[in-house]
């Protein structure tokens, strides 16, 4: 098929491709109610790339009674136009994912349809605004139903009118009922942005986490201290420099910056497909090591900050305390002596904290963690990572103490916290072609199993002949 030369042609290709692979075409789920209210088959919380692509995978399985909700306004889902403070994605441009293997749905096909093959060749990395536009296009052409401006909260068990288990999810627009809930809530799926207590205790006007909304214009002429040496810390340092900060100092605990990106090593089919199914000892060994590192920064990220003469990186110099001074600055205590700054930015990532997440708070105490299920050898121990949830094969929560909240088996976590159990999965592009179909298969299996008595009745009542025969030709024995 010749390559599409505009989006209209590409969208026609998408329609044709999806029709060619639509087998099996039959709808198989029955609409349910609870207290007379409609029940969704699957409610997906989070309309970023993972939520939208999960919905697309379900539509392909003819699970159509679904809804995606996102608290953000349309087009503002995920980090791309808010706190992702880099001009371009850091991942390879030809890394496919949302397309789930359908060529006309790839980023490259979308890019070439608008900018030609030469435009694709000339581009090194994907500008984040274009990635965001692509995700919006993707969700339109795949007809994924998304309702923006809806924040999901507490989840509790209930039943459908015909007795099946289902869930009641409180939202900012009233309760929604669903047989299954997928939490595709990105980085904050099971925890909260973390900074040292002594930084959090400072007045908000003097400090921020890198994921917060920061008024960089106000940092003009100021001394900015950034904690952390992952890619996000660098992006925030560079943004401050570009906005005219007088000096930007980036502090990292380790003596050497992290230059090797383990995610590049592990991006091969065996790892992405099969890590989740190997014994815990191997899952932990690989993923605890990967997650124990800071995310390495690529060349572009370093160059963006290093081209400024007023940028300095301090390695092997952790922060040990911080105090506001009498003139409204911050005195930071570091391992190598004090440091005075006007504003602090922490690129210090996420910590698991189930109780702080509104969708998890009702059952936070009964979510099985890795520390409940696996004890690593002492040299591989890591208390922080032990707090990650220990998920079932379909990404569902498991109970810490069986019997207390069995209904959490219908809540599937597809954000960053699924990474320890599965390797890259939720909150990732590079594993999407493996991780999303795996999740969709798990959801289909759960919906099917719960419906077996009805399906048995349906099978027994099935009486549609596929041929007409002449009864006179049947010889009785
Ligand atoms: C700064 C940054 C840069 C990144 N750069 C890259 C990159 O270059 N290449 C790469 O491969 N990966 C990158 N990643 C990793 C990953 O691709 C992104 O995090 C991506 O956004 C993950 O998609 P997601 O759908 O899982 O989560 P998100 O895109 O974060 O979407 C989650 C959505 O859930 C919504 N939500 C959360 N809680 C609720 C609630 N209670 N109710 C309703 N809605 C809710 C949020 O509003 C959000 O829109 C980056 C991550 C970050 C944080």
**Is 282 domain-assigned?**
no
Residue 109 to residues 40, 88, 176, 185, 307, Cα–Cα distance (Å) = 33, 18, 36, 27, 34
> Domain check: are 173 and 246 in the same one?
no
The atom number, within ligand 1, closest to the CA of 210 reads 1
Specify the pLDDT at position 390.
Answer: 98
Q: Give pLDDT, residue 155.
A: 98
CATH number at residue 336: 3.50.50.60
Q: Which atom of ligand 1 is nearest to the CA of 78?
A: 29
* Residue 266 counted as domain residue: no
Ligand 1, closest atom to CA 426?
26
Full-model pTM: 0.96
Q: How far apart are CA 176 and CA 151, in angstroms?
A: 11
Q: Which of 53, 70, 127, 235 to mutate to test the pocket of ligand 1 (most atoms within 8 A of CB)?
A: 70
Residue 468: pLDDT over 80 = yes
Number of domains forming the structure of the chain: 2
Q: Indicate whether 463 belongs to any domain.
A: no
In a domain, 42, yes or no: yes
For the chain, give the number of residues: 477
CB 209 within 8 A of CB 278: no
The pLDDT, as a whole number, for residue 477 is 62
Q: Classify residue 271: in a domain, yes or no.
A: no
Q: Where are the beta strands (DSSP E) in 160-310?
A: 165-171, 176-183, 191-193, 207-209, 223-227, 247-251
* pLDDT tens-digit readout, 148-171: 999 999 999 999 999 999 999 999
Q: What is the pLDDT of residues 240-277, one digit of tens each?
A: 999 999 999 999 998 888 888 899 999 999 999 999 99
Q: Is position 441 within any domain?
A: yes
In the predicted model, is pLDDT for residue 99 greater than 80? yes
Shared-domain flag, residues 328 and 404 = no
Instruction: Quick: pLDDT tens for 310-358.
Output: 999 999 999 999 999 999 999 999 999 999 999 999 999 999 999 999 9
Residue 88's pLDDT band, with cuts at 50, 70 and 90, is very high
In the block, residue with structure tokens 């005219």:
244
Ligand 1, atom 2, lies closest to the CA of 84
Q: Which structural domain, as residue segments, surrounds residue 36?
A: 7-191+352-454
Q: Are strands 207-209 and 343-346 parallel, antiparallel or unpaired?
A: parallel
């Amino acid at each position: 098929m010749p390559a599409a030369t505009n989006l209209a042609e590409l969208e026609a290709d998408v329609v044709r491709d999806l029709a060619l692979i639509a087998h099996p075409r039959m709808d198989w789920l029955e609409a349910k109610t609870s207290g007379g209210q409609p029940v969704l088959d699957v409610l997906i919380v989070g309309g970023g790339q993972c939520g939208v692509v999960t919905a697309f995978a379900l539509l392909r399985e003819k699970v159509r009674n679904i809804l995606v909700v996102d608290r953000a306004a349309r087009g503002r889902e995920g980090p791309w136009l808010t706190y992702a403070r880099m001009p371009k994605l850091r991942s390879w441009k030809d890394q496919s994912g949302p397309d789930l293997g359908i060529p006309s749905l790839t980023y490259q096909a979308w890019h070439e349809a608008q900018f030609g093959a030469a435009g694709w060749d000339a581009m090194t990395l994907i500008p984040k605004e274009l990635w965001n536009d692509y995700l919006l296009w993707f969700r339109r052409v795949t007809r994924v139903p998304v309702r923006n401006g809806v924040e999901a909260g507490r989840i509790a068990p209930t039943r459908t009118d015909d007795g099946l288990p289902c869930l009641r999810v409180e939202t900012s627009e009233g309760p929604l009922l669903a047989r299954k809930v997928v939490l595709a809530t990105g980085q904050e799926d099971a925890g909260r942005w973390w900074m040292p207590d002594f930084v959090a205790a400072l007045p908000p006007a003097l400090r921020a986490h890198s994921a917060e909304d920061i008024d960089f214009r106000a940092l003009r002429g100021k001394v900015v201290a950034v904690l952390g040496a992952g890619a996000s810390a660098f992006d925030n340092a560079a943004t401050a420099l570009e906005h005219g900060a007088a000096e930007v100092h980036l502090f990292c605990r380790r003596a050497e910056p992290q230059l090797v990106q383990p995610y590049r090593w592990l991006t091969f089919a065996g790892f992405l497909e099969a890590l989740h199914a190997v014994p815990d000892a191997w899952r932990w060994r690989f993923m605890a090591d990967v997650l124990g590192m800071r995310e390495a920064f690529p060349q572009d990220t370093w160059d963006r900050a290093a081209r400024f003469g007023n940028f300095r990186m301090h390695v092997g110099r952790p922060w040990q305390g911080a105090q506001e001074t009498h003139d409204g600055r911050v005195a930071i205590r570091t391992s190598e002596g004090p440091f005075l700054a006007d504003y602090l930015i922490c690129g210090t990532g996420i910590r698991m904290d189930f109780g702080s997440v509104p969708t998890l708070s009702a059952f936070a105490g009964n979510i099985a963690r890795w520390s409940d299920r696996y004890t690593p050898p002492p040299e591989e121990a890591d208390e922080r990572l032990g707090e990650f949830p220990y998920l079932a094969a379909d990404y569902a929560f498991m109970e810490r103490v069986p019997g207390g909240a069995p209904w959490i088996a219908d809540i599937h976590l597809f954000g960053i916290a699924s990474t320890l159990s599965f390797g890259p999965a939720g909150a990732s592009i590079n594993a999407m072609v493996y991780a999303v179909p795996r999740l969709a298969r798990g959801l289909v299996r759960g919906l099917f199993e719960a419906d077996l008595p009805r399906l048995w009745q349906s099978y027994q009542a099935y009486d549609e002949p596929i041929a007409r025969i002449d009864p006179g030709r049947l010889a009785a024995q």
